[in-house]
Structure 1
Amino acid sequence: MDATKSSLRGLRAKLWATAGALPVRVLALHGSTDGLTCRVCVEIRRPDGPILLFFYRHVDGTWHVFPPAENLCRMSFEPLAG
């Protein structure tokens, strides 16, 4: 997959364009100390309640809203839950 087609910057631009005037903010940015895991939590505030999106960086440098299969057990957002 071409990394330029799913860079975090590109996904952010699509998200902001889709959200329109709705407030969008980054809630969390986490990278592991070994550099193998990186994830971002983004919130879109809507009149009927917020939507949270989680973006994960894959080994090839692309970003997706689903985690890479080989790192499923390594990723968690427990510190955000409370």
Structure 2
Amino acid sequence: MVVARQSKESEMGSGEKCLRTLVGKWFGPSAVVTIRVMEFSRTRTDRRRYVRIGAVLADGGLTIVFFRHDDGSWNVFPAKANVPAMRTYPLAA
């Protein structure tokens, strides 16, 4: 019996794989471009992690901000804020 091991990418959540894979997807596999972490911190409003990645290109610079979601995935859009919700139900007559 052969058991397949899960890759680290699938362990990180159901969203876009690990940050390294996502950066490679957005910036491309070109070895000519130098990619750097420009900033990493937490958002002021809900303290979620984000990373700003930059690359210096021949025609200028490119910066992309990646946000960490609750499921462990990284995305280029921020996670939805957890807002308390209330519902009303009709009373039984």
TM-score by length of 2: 0.58
How many percent identity over aligned positions? 28
1:2 is the counterpart of 2:14: yes
Query: 1:67, CA displacement in angstroms?
Result: 0.8
1:20 is the counterpart of 2:31: yes
Q: Secondary structure at the match of 1:12?
A: helix
Q: Note the 1:43-54 alignment, pairs <5 A.
A: 43-54=54-65
Query: 1:38, CA displacement in angstroms?
Result: 0.2
Of 15, 22, 30, the residue aligned with 2:41 is 30
Q: What runs of 5+ residues in structure 2 fail to find an aligned partner?
A: 1-12, 83-93
Q: Is 1:31–1:38's contact at 8 Å kept on the other side of the alignment?
A: yes
Runs of 4+ more than 6 Å apart: none
Query: 1:30, CA displacement in angstroms?
Result: 0.6
Point out the structure with max Rg over C-alpha.
2
Question: What is the RMSD of the two structures over their aligned residues, measured on CA atoms?
Answer: 2.6
Query: 1:36, CA displacement in angstroms?
Result: 4.7
Number of matched pairs: 68
Query: 1:13, CA displacement in angstroms?
Result: 4.0
Q: What runs of 5+ residues in structure 1 fail to find an aligned partner?
A: 72-82
Q: Is 1:36–1:59's contact at 8 Å kept on the other side of the alignment?
A: no
TM-score by length of 1: 0.65
1:6-37 C-alpha deviation (Å, 9 max, x unpaired):
221322343564343111100001136xx950
Q: Which structure's residues are more often helix, by fraction?
A: 1
